[in-house]
């Protein structure tokens, strides 16, 4: 559970309808295509990273380097939003300057990653996950108990336009307008792109040649993602009923959407539980940033440094990777501070837009290599250039 899902999903439902919940159904599109075209290839080839595949498939080290740089940019944006979200919430609750909280989290994550490597990052994840999941379940029960009318009031609100607004359609011929069809398909291909091209996911696919085991992992992930999103969206709607309908005159009615769930945890749950959950949110964010920094260091070393300079000593390779990790971490802190002073209404929507922009470019090149035996290096470069132009045009 990252802060993006923990705070962003509930905030999305609180401020709007459930239309973005349908993005989770993109798994229905992505998982069968991944099983059919992607897993068999990754399971049988010997690659160091996802971008090593592009080098071998298209005989292009430059394409490998470009793809690794795009992945690093993706991680930079992801780490920035993860530092921003819990820091914004804690700033509202404690009165501590948000810049200080972001810098503190970033520095701790950098030191944690720099000195301990991946092992020091992973050992706390399980405990944090248990605390967060338990906290979510407890928060849902407390929320429903505090709402006059309980779950019935939430269901009534959903039936009266909170699930889908009157102007939200199943399908719209204008493909630049939001519709359920567009969200499901767009999310499906974004998820497919991440399965194909994101190093942190691909490395899981290359650990075994057991296709059945990989298929089970994907289906389990899909079911858990859908269930998790449903719970958070239900919490978001419950928060809307509690703060906007039944307690509209409270101070919480003006809290930004991405901070409302943390506000509820702070003021409605038992004191000891509140402190434990808030600490776990902050620690999970820091751990996620540390993991991101490690993946950046790994990708830089294997996909860029080793390709450019093969005869470098292990000690020098490690030092350069640590420097790159430090530089990316500091830059992420800066981007996160900029986010804190910008007008981001929904971190969840911002992140999904950013992920689609970056991983969409990468995913197209990978999928070209997967499905076409005739595709060559020139075709891969052309696909990357054209998709970049189209994505930027649609976005801006």
Inform me whether the pLDDT recorded for 241 exceeds 70. yes
* pLDDT tier at 200, thresholds 50, 70, 90: confident
Total structural domains in the chain? 1
> Of the ranges 54-63, 126-135, 318-327, 377-386, which one carries the lowest mean pLDDT score?
126-135
Residues 6+ apart with CB under 8 A from 303: 48, 49, 51, 52, 64, 65, 67, 68
Angle at 251 between CA 349 and CA 132, to 5 degrees: 50
Inform me whether the pLDDT recorded for 121 exceeds 60. no
Q: Dump pLDDT digits (tens) for 331-346.
A: 999 999 999 999 888 8
Does 130 or 189 have the greater pLDDT score?
Answer: 189
Q: What is the 3-state secondary structure (H, E, C) of 180-235?
A: HHHHHHHHHHHHHHHHHHCHHHHHHHCCCCCHHHHHHHHHHHHHHHHHHHHHHHHH
pLDDT at 277: 86
Arithmetic mean of pLDDT over the chain? 89
Inform me whether the pLDDT recorded for 288 exceeds 70. yes
Does 118 or 140 have the greater pLDDT score?
Answer: 140
Question: Residues of the chain with pLDDT > 70: what percent?
Answer: 95
CA distance 379 to 110: 39
Q: Dump pLDDT digits (tens) for 13-54.
A: 999 999 999 999 999 999 999 999 899 888 888 898 999 999
Q: Dump pLDDT digits (tens) for 143-198.
A: 999 999 999 999 999 999 999 998 889 988 877 678 999 999 999 999 999 999 99
pLDDT at 226: 94
Inform me whether the pLDDT recorded for 230 exceeds 90. yes
Does 330 or 113 have the greater pLDDT score?
Answer: 330
For the purposes of burial, counting CB atoms within 10 Å of the CB of 246, is it exposed (0-12), middle (13-18) or buried (19 or more)? middle
CB 262 within 8 A of CB 281: yes
CA distance 283 to 135: 14
Q: Return the structure tokens found at 131.
A: 């605390």
Alpha-carbon dihedral of residues 168, 169, 172, 178, nearest 10 degrees?
A: 40
- How many Cβ atoms sit within 10 Å of the Cβ of residue 3? 25
Phi, psi dihedral angles at 169 (to 5 degrees): -110, 160
Inform me whether the pLDDT recorded for 310 exceeds 80. no
pLDDT at 119: 52
pLDDT at 275: 87
pTM of the model: 0.90
Phi, psi dihedral angles at 350 (to 5 degrees): -60, -45
pLDDT at 131: 78
Mean pLDDT, range 63-68, rounded to an integer:
95
Q: Dump pLDDT digits (tens) for 86-113.
A: 999 899 888 899 999 999 999 988 887 7
Angle at 282 between CA 78 and CA 301, to 5 degrees: 40
Does 297 or 153 have the greater pLDDT score?
Answer: 153
> Of the ranges 76-80, 288-292, 361-365, which one carries the lowest mean pLDDT score?
288-292
CA distance 260 to 332: 24
Q: What is the 3-state secondary structure (H, E, C) of the chain?
A: CCHHHHHHHHHHHHHCCCHHHHHHHHHHHHHHHHHHHHHHHHHHCCCCCHHHHHHHHHCCHHHHHHHHHHHHHHHHHHHHHHHHHHHHHHHHHHCCCHHHHHHHHHHHHHHHHHHHHHHHHHCCHHHHHHHHHHHHHHHHHHHHHHCCCHHHHHHHHHHHHHCCCCCCECCCCCCCCCEHHHHHHHHHHHHHHHHHHCHHHHHHHCCCCCHHHHHHHHHHHHHHHHHHHHHHHHHHHHHHHHHHHCCCCCHHHHCCHHHHHHHHHHHHCCHHHHHHHHHHHHHHHHHHHHHHHHHHHHHHHHHHHHHHCCCCCHHHHHHHHHHHHHHHHHHHHHHHHHHHCCCCCCHHHHHHHHHHHHHHHHHHHHHHHHHCCCCCHHHHHHHHHHHHHHHHHHHC
CB 157 within 8 A of CB 237: yes
CA distance 258 to 234: 15
The domain of 329 spans 3-395
pLDDT at 123: 52
Tell me, what CATH number does 63's domain have?
Answer: 1.20.1730.10
């Amino acid at each position: 559970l990252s802060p993006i899902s923990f705070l962003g999903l509930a905030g999305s439902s609180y401020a709007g309808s459930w239309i973005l919940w349908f993005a989770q159904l993109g798994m229905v599109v992505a998982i069968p295509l991944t099983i059919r075209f992607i897993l068999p290839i990754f399971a049988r080839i010997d690659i160091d990273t996802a971008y090593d595949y592009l080098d071998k498939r298209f005989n292009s080290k430059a394409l490998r380097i470009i793809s690794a740089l795009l992945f690093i940019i993706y991680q930079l944006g992801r780490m920035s939003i993860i530092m921003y979200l819990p820091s914004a919430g804690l700033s509202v609750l404690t009165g501590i300057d948000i810049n200080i909280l972001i810098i503190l989290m970033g520095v701790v994550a950098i030191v944690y990653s720099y000195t301990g490597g991946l092992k020091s990052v992973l050992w706390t994840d399980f405990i944090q996950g248990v605390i967060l999941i338990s906290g979510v379940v407890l928060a849902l029960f407390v929320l429903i108990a505090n709402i006059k009318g309980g779950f019935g009031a939430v269901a009534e609100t959903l039936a009266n336009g909170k699930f889908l607004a009157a102007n939200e359609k199943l399908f719209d011929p204008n493909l630049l307008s939001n519709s359920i069809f567009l969200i499901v398909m767009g999310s499906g291909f974004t998820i497919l792109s991440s399965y194909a091209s994101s190093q942190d996911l691909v490395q899981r696919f290359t650990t075994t040649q057991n296709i059945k085991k990989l298929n089970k992992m994907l289906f389990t992930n899909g079911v858990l993602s859908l269930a998790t999103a449903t719970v958070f969206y239900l919490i978001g709607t419950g928060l809307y009923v509690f703060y906007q309908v039944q307690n509209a005159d409270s101070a919480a009615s003006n809290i930004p959407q991405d901070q409302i769930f943390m506000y509820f945890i702070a003021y409605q749950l038992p004191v000891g539980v509140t402190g434990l959950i808030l600490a776990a949110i902050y620690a999970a964010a820091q751990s996620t940033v540390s993991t991101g920094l490690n993946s950046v260091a790994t990708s830089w070393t294997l996909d860029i440094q080793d390709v450019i300079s093969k005869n470098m000593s292990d000690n020098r390779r490690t030092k350069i990777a640590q420097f790159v990790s430090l530089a990316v971490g500091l830059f992420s802190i800066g981007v996160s501070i900029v986010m804190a002073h910008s007008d981001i209404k929904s971190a969840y929507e911002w992140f999904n837009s950013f992920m689609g922009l970056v991983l969409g470019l990468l995913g197209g090149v990978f999928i070209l290599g997967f499905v076409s035996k005739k595709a060559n290096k020139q075709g891969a470069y052309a696909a990357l250039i054209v998709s970049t132009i189209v994505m930027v045009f649609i976005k801006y």
